[in-house]
Amino acid sequence: MVIKVAISGALGRMGGTVGRIVNEAQDLALVGGIDVKKGNLFGTEVVPATEIDAFLKEKKPDVLIDFSVAAAAVENIKAAARNNVALVVGTTGFSPVQRKEIESAVEGSVPAVISSNFSVGVNIFWKLVGEAARQLGDYDIEVTEAHHRYKKDAPSGTAKTILEILDHELGEREKVYGRVGATERKDEIGVHVIRGGDIVGDHSVLFAGNFECIEVSHRAYDRAVFAQGALRAARWIVGREPRIYTMQDVLGL
């Protein structure tokens, strides 16, 4: 079975990477894309987001992979649900209201894998962070993330997932975003954001105790790692029961 793939955010960095890998795969077929303007992606048409419903009706993709921006992604997800197209969503930066809109659109309509990071390594990293938190809950904790200069949201979606994992394991703690002035620690988690150059994605969690520190970290060297994970999710999601899944479901973690 050849899976027909459409990409929203097709002309962006991640969209282009996903498109290239789809174009090279034997079991996937790129049928086109959606972006803010018309264009071309590896010989397939990219249409403006305003034309997404007509595009989905004509091309009939099996799955729509979304790496766009939050506001656009919400509308893309709604359109996919209206047209019975499965979803893989890697866009981050959704507000609580937008998350509720997404849940309302997807539940009972189409299957969707939604994750702040599709890297297999990052999903293992999240598991390790949770285990470390269970064992080292009395240590001081600092979270650091770094991305390229064009990253639109901060902290990253991956860092926000780290914080959710820590809160789940330890109970909710105050988050301190950067420090200036008086810095004596309380029962808090420090969060530090770096933006510069072409950094693909670095994340680390430092557990600092008396006389020792343990650091759990992940570094991505190429966007292909996220694209490969998204396509693994695309292969997995087609034909599933309509509801929201995570990359942990895809990997059986």
- Give the whole-angstrom CA distance, residue 212 versus residue 106: 46
Q: Which of 147, 160, 203, 218 is an active site residue?
A: 147
Q: Please, where are the H alpha helices in 60-205?
A: 70-82, 96-106, 120-135, 157-170
Rounded to two decimals, the pTM is 0.86
Average pLDDT over residues 81-107: 95
Q: Which of 59, 151, 203, 218 is an active site residue?
A: 151
DSSP string, 93-135: ---HHHHHHHHHHHTTT--EEE-S---HHHHHHHHHHHHHHHH
Decide if 147 is catalytic.
yes
Q: How far is CA 203 from CA 122, 174, 175, 215, in A?
A: 9, 20, 16, 10
Question: 203 vs 92, which has greater pLDDT?
Answer: 203
Decide if 148 is catalytic.
no
Position 181 pLDDT exceeds 90: no
Q: Pairing between strand 86-89 and 63-66?
A: parallel
109-123 confidence digits (pLDDT tens): 999 999 999 999 999
